[in-house]
Amino acid sequence: MGVSCVVIVALALVSSGTAVWFTASRPGNARAFVNLPSTPPGQTRADWKASAHGVDGAPGTIGWIPVGPHPQGEAFDSTNGRLYVTNYQNTVSVINCTTEQYVGSIPVGLAPLAVTFDPMNGDIYVVNGNSDNVTVINGATGAVSGSIIVGVSPQAIAFDGANGHLFTANYLSRNLSVIDGATNAVVDSVSIDALPEAIAFDTTNGFLYVADDSSSNVTVVNGANNSVVGTVRVGSLPSSVVFDPTNGFVYVASTNAGNKLTIIDGANDSVVGSIPTGLVPLALAYVPAFDYVYTANYDTGDLTVIDAALNVVIGSEAVGSQPDAVAYDGTNGILYVANWGSNDVSMVDPNTLFCLACLGITFVAPGLQTGGQWSVTMNSTTQSTISNSIVFSERSGNYQFTVEPAPGYTASPQSGTLTLSDVGVTVPIKFTHSPSNGSGGGGNATSTPGAPAWEVWALVGVAAGMTIGTASVFLRGRLRRR
């Protein structure tokens, strides 16, 4: 694919305070998103942004929450709706994601680097890099319930939902510690010929993927028997790993390989591609609601947004200073980004990001005069207008639609099915004046009893894979006799 020019036009609807953005990456490829920002009471959006970071934020960032010094790890507890943020100075900050408020801190071990949630027992596990242990927090009470000795300099932790085990990546002892979540005891260790830096569990094949900071490899471990089954060559200095259960791919961020993600197919552990990111991608998160992968880019202070269905970059989002962790709350649909340099957590709404993955579906009927209201319903969503076009913004897929014509007209096609794939589509609508229905909303063509009926034709549009009733060929902007 060649380089394409991106044109962005913003239309501000002042009365409602809503900004609607439209983008196009190639002709006929209309894409859109709606930005619905929230602002604290008594502050304008400009005041809020200036007081928070001194700059105007990007559309998806809806606020910041102060936490402890140098946050660097995050985990969401789906049971109590709280976010746990590790701070380098030996504490964990707790955020109530329902109220979006900081509620307190919990003292843990030395240099807590990572954290995860065990949905089977409701505990939170904090990896302490300088005290070689894991702090266990009871999610129901918020109290520390124990400590587990692991390998030397643990850097990361992952939960294996197949057997209830937790795996810590121990950097200097070059191994993984295996913790039984039922007893909170170490039950095994796995030797790794590497310096393990990050780890993720593949729920499809039951394997763990361990990033090696000393090479360009990812070590693959069978979680069922705690054995190494192979290695995969990726970019230099891999720093983070995440699994996408929708496509079965494992994404590995590398900080010294041109700032990119390497894509591993979990079905055969082969590299199937790579994706560019921002500078120094240190963390990854998967958002199932959109099938998006996000990278937190430390040096550029932003997120790279990747459509995992297409494995392409679809946008970016500015956050705080030096972001190095990101977690998703599936309950409220918000991304939380820990910013090492600004000691806070950015809240990002994926619904308001640049939806460069969305394609325009435009229904056009230029023959109608202003005032003739017509509507289109597509996948249970109805839009009405008195103008000559209606635009939907949707991701790739199959869509059914029906047309409600202006009074005094019939529509052709009145219903149909279209397939949206790589480019936006234009659906031409033909309105035929019906004398028996009265004067109706009017149009450029008129009819009187006994006279031939006239048809109002829409503009021609190219729509690959589109079925629109029985109509297939249209005359460009022309009235003709039937």
pLDDT in tens, 263-292: 999 999 999 988 888 899 999 999 998 899
Q: Please check whether residues 235 and 345 belong to one and the same domain.
A: yes
Instruction: Look at residue 22 and tell me if it is in a domain.
Output: no
Instruction: Look at residue 144 and tell me if it is in a domain.
Output: yes
Instruction: Look at residue 342 and tell me if it is in a domain.
Output: yes
Q: What is the pLDDT of residue 193?
A: 85
Q: What is the 3-state secondary structure (H, E, C) of the chain?
A: CCCCCCEEEEEEECCCCEEEEEEECCCCCEEEEEECCCCCCCCCHHHHHHHHHCCCCCCCEEEEEECCCCEEEEEEECCCCEEEEEECCCEEEEEECCCCEEEEEEECCCCEEEEEEECCCCEEEEEECCCCEEEEEECCCCCEEEEEECCCCEEEEEEECCCCEEEEEECCCCEEEEEECCCCEEEEEEECCCCEEEEEECCCCCEEEEEECCCCEEEEEECCCCEEEEEEECCCCEEEEEEECCCCEEEEEECCCCCEEEEEECCCCEEEEEEECCCCEEEEEEECCCCEEEEEECCCCEEEEEECCCCEEEEEEECCCCEEEEEEECCCCEEEEEECCCCEEEEECHHHCCCCCCEEEEEECCCCCCCCCEEEEECCEEEEECCCEEEEEECCEEEEEEEECCCCEEEECCEEEEEECCCCEEEECEEEECHHHCCCCCCCCCCCCCCCCEEECCCCCCCCCCECCCCCCCCCCCCEEC
Instruction: Look at residue 456 and tell me if it is in a domain.
Output: yes
Instruction: Look at residue 19 and tell me if it is in a domain.
Output: no
Q: What is the pLDDT of residue 271?
A: 93
Q: Please check whether residues 199 and 277 belong to one and the same domain.
A: yes
Q: Please check whether residues 277 and 341 belong to one and the same domain.
A: yes
Q: What is the pLDDT of residue 435?
A: 65
- Domain interval for residue 436: 359-481
Instruction: Look at residue 241 and tell me if it is in a domain.
Output: yes
Q: Please check whether residues 377 and 447 belong to one and the same domain.
A: yes
Q: Are 53 and 42 contacting, i.e. CB atoms less than 8 angstroms apart?
A: no
| 33-39: Cβ within 8 A, 24+ apart | 33/59, 33/351, 33/352, 33/353, 33/354, 33/355, 33/358, 33/393, 34/352, 35/59, 35/60, 35/352, 36/351, 36/352, 37/62, 37/352, 38/62, 38/63
Domain boundary among 352, 384, 404: 352
The CATH code of the domain that includes 58 is 2.130.10.10
Instruction: Look at residue 421 and tell me if it is in a domain.
Output: yes
Instruction: Look at residue 8 and tell me if it is in a domain.
Output: no
348, burial (CB in 10 Å: exposed 0-12, middle 13-18, buried 19+): buried
Q: Please check whether residues 403 and 321 belong to one and the same domain.
A: no
Q: What is the pLDDT of residue 465?
A: 33
Q: Please check whether residues 348 and 368 belong to one and the same domain.
A: no
Q: Please check whether residues 56 and 140 belong to one and the same domain.
A: yes
How far the first Cα of the chain sits from its last, in Å, is 44
Q: Please check whether residues 69 and 103 belong to one and the same domain.
A: yes
Cβ neighbour number for residue 372 with a 10 Å cutoff:
23
Domain boundary among 352, 384, 403: 352
Low-confidence ranges of the chain (pLDDT < 50): 1-59, 354-356, 437-482
Q: Please check whether residues 341 and 376 belong to one and the same domain.
A: no
Q: Please check whether residues 299 and 374 belong to one and the same domain.
A: no
pLDDT in tens, 209-231: 999 988 889 999 999 999 999 99
Prior bond of 350 cis (ω within 30°): no
The total of structural domains in the chain comes to: 2
Q: Please check whether residues 280 and 295 belong to one and the same domain.
A: yes
Domain boundary among 352, 369, 386: 352
Strands 217-222 and 454-456 turn out to be: unpaired
Q: What is the pLDDT of residue 217?
A: 92
Q: Please check whether residues 315 and 230 belong to one and the same domain.
A: yes
